[in-house]
């Protein structure tokens, strides 16, 4: 890991009264890296993600982005610099697609001509025809289209960092696969640093340069998919990595056995 990571969490803790959501989480994410936070419900992965853009304020510890303590920036300004894709999209239903994508540039005072050009550029980038989609409202979009718009909105102000909280979890497998590929293409094209939350092991293995396994508010192990599979920290990490793959192999074997 580089001496100056793009994102660094240092002994970050968040408590709600007597409940500890995350405990002493330390992570580094290099520039251009995609780190997956993997774990079940209540593992603390979304809380950890939200400390990066101060949607959650840590009880203790420090979070830095591009070498700067995030507490040095007002929360709204920080969140305009860090792209964020919500688990439930968060598109504004009363706004058109173009208005949704242009929200952050408008808040930053971009001229209208620049915003319009950026909207068209981003719609094309996420493979939606601007002439067809810019004036649509979110209610008229399919799930996959809405998710593409959410990604475009997160990219609107040209952030170097993107945070994605289970963005594809509600989509059908084919659409999910298409959007995973689109995300990886965008990442390569734009040089993005990404933290991606999921509970899906296969998705983590497909997307992540490294995976941080979280359990009960703590980071249990960090490494590549290969490292986690071959040298798991404990039996639970081993099961987490191997059971979905074994199930997929069993399903494939059954299909082959039943083939005419």
Confidence band of 88 (pLDDT split at 50, 70, 90): low
Tens-digit pLDDT profile for residues 26-68: 999 999 999 999 998 899 999 999 999 999 999 999 999 999 9
Does residue 253 lie within any of the structural domains?
yes
What is the helix (H) or strand (E) element at residue 65, kind and residue range? Answer: strand 60-65
What is the residue range of 11's domain?
A: 7-258
Read off the DSSP letter of residue 139.
G
Number of neighbours of residue 103 by Cβ within 10 angstroms: 17
Instruction: Quickly tell me which residue has 């603390």 as its tokens.
Output: 44
Name the domain count of the chain. Answer: 1
pTM, whole model, 2 decimals? 0.89
Tell me if 168 is assigned to some domain: yes
Tens digits of residue pLDDT in 65-86? 999 999 998 888 888 789 888 7
Does residue 1 fall inside a structural domain?
A: no
* Higher-scoring residue by pLDDT: 132, 143: 132
Domain-embedded: residue 2: no
d(CA 171, CA 179): 10
CB 32 within 8 A of CB 191: yes
Model confidence at 143, in pLDDT bands (50, 70, 90)?
Answer: confident
Assess if residue 72 is contained within a domain.
Answer: yes
CATH number at residue 61: 3.40.50.300
Q: Is the pLDDT of residue 90 over 90?
A: no
CA 20 to CA 116: how far, in whole Å? 44
């Amino acid at each position: 890991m580089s001496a100056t990571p793009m994102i660094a969490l240092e002994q970050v803790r968040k408590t709600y009264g007597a409940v500890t959501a995350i405990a002493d989480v330390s992570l580094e994410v290099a520039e251009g890296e995609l780190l997956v936070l993997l774990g079940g419900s209540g593992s603390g992965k979304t809380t950890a993600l939200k400390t990066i853009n101060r949607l959650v304020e840590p009880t203790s510890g420090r979070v830095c982005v591009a070498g700067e303590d995030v507490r040095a920036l007002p929360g709204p300004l920080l969140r305009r610099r860090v792209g964020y894709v919500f688990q439930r999209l968060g598109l504004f239903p009363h706004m058109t697609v173009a208005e949704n994508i242009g929200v952050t540039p408008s808040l930053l005072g971009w001229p209208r001509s620049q915003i319009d050009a950026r909207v068209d550029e981003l719609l094309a980038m996420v493979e939606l025809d601007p002439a067809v989609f810019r004036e649509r409202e979110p209610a008229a979009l399919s799930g996959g289209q809405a998710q593409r718009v959410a990604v475009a909105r997160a990219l609107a102000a040209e952030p170097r960092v993107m945070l994605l909280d289970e963005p594809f979890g509600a989509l059908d497998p084919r659409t999910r696969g298409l959007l995973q590929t689109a995300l990886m293409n965008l990442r390569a094209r734009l040089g993005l640093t990404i933290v991606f939350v999921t509970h899906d092991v296969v998705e983590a293995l497909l997307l992540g340069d490294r995976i941080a396994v979280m359990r009960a508010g703590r980071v249990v192990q960090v490494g590549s998919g290969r490292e986690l599979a071959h040298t798991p920290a404990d039996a639970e990490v081993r099961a987490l990595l191997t059971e979905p793959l074994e199930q997929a192999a069993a399903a494939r074997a059954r299909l082959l056995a039943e083939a005419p």
